[in-house]
Amino acid sequence: MPELPEVEGLVRSLKPIVTGKTIQSVEVSETIMTSKANGKEAVLKGTDVQSFCESMPRMTIKQIERRSKYIYFHVIKDGIPYLLVSHLGMSGAWFYVRGLHEIIEEKFKRHTHIIFYFEEGGMLVYADIRRFGELRLLKKEEDYPPLLLMAPEPFDLNALDHYLEMSTLPKYENKPIKEFIMDGHVVSGCGNIYATEALFRMRIHPNRKVKRISKERKIQLFHEIVIVLLDSIENGGSSISDYRKINGESGNMQNRLQMYGKKECPVCHAKTVQKTIGGRTSTYCGSCQR
């Protein structure tokens, strides 16, 4: 599953390749067309296939940025700016290739859903096995309000204060800390993998209630989240199940994880505990984490 570091890596590698390129045409898979025809919001959100395909040609990509786990493609057509927003969901991936045969892994190739053909040659391909991802064309960010409610970027100066403020709200103070830090309105881009790692590094039990953690420890935990995210960015992200880089390669962070997906605690060697917290599978050490 792509989380913040994986999306960051993707944006960094896409940037030099597709910035300045102009979309010539769009191709949408039969699967998506059928779903959309049946009234579903599969991948292409807030639009029908036809108007999307008519809108995209002549769009020039001016800039690409990551915002939380979203990719923002800033595009322009006829002097008018638009924002193409992409979220990879559980299993989305972007590939830049000259032809589909360059996508090696069958399970991605089989689930190719959107292809942007560039005037300059080459194509930007969106593949998504489970189709939980989304693509949304906006005039501006404000046109899709949930984007405005996202927590600040974790590396922004105000991110810590925002998180501390949220932690004292009635809505959050009785929640398990893991659910709290994985909430995109609290911390941007911290999914299951990195929440699990940060909590383990802090030796905090994922089920501990937010209000039962001192301000000092909450601050330390936030720093630990930032550290593990940065460490992962440096190491090319975690390739667990369906994440791939745009050249199809895997990242390396999965080899540096201490708790996520582990059977045994690396510190005390006790068997790890697997339990659902806040609706998500959680792994932790029942004796080291309190």
Partner DNA sequence: ACGATTAACCGGTGGC
Partner DNA sequence: TGCCACCGGTTAATC
Where along the sequence are the contacts to DNA (CB under 7 A)? 1, 31, 35, 39-42, 68-69, 87, 89-90, 107, 110-111, 129-132, 145-147, 149-150, 169-171, 174, 182, 184, 189, 191-192, 241, 276, 279-281
Our answer to whether residue 3 is catalytic in this structure is: yes
- What's the rounded Cα separation, in Å, for the pair 80 and 89? 28
How far apart (Å, rounded) are the C-alpha atoms in residues 101 and 261? 33
Known catalytic residue at 40: no
Pick the closer one to DNA by CB: 17 or 53. Answer: 53
Catalytic choice (36, 69, 244, 245)? 69
CB of 217 to DNA, least distance (A): 22
Supply 167's token pair. 């932690």
Burial state string for 3-26 with b = 16 or more CB within 10 A and e = fewer than 16: bbbbbbbbbebbeeebeebbbbeb
Q: How far is the CB of 32 from DNA (least distance, A)?
A: 7
Alpha helices in the chain (DSSP H): 4-18, 30-37, 49-55, 106-109, 159-167, 170-173, 177-181, 192-202, 215-234
Catalytic (active site) residue 41: no
Rounded Cα gap, residues 134 and 285, in angstroms: 35
Question: Least Å distance between CB 273 and DNA?
Answer: 13
Give SS3 for 275: strand
Burial of 61 (0-12, 13-18, 19+ CB in 10 A): buried
Residue 280 known to be catalytic: yes
What's the closest the beta carbon of residue 272 comes to DNA, in angstroms?
14
Minimum separation from the CB atom of position 26 to DNA (A)? 18
If the CB atoms of residues 137 and 147 are measured against DNA, the closer one turns out to be 147
**From CA 174, how far away is CA 168, in angstroms rounded?**
9
Nearer CB in complex with DNA: 52/118: 52
Question: Would you say 21 or 206 has its CB closer to DNA?
Answer: 206
- The distance from CA 157 to its chain's CA centroid, rounded to whole angstroms, is 21
Nearer to DNA, 21 or 29 (CB): 29
**Which residues are known catalytic residues?**
2-3, 69, 280
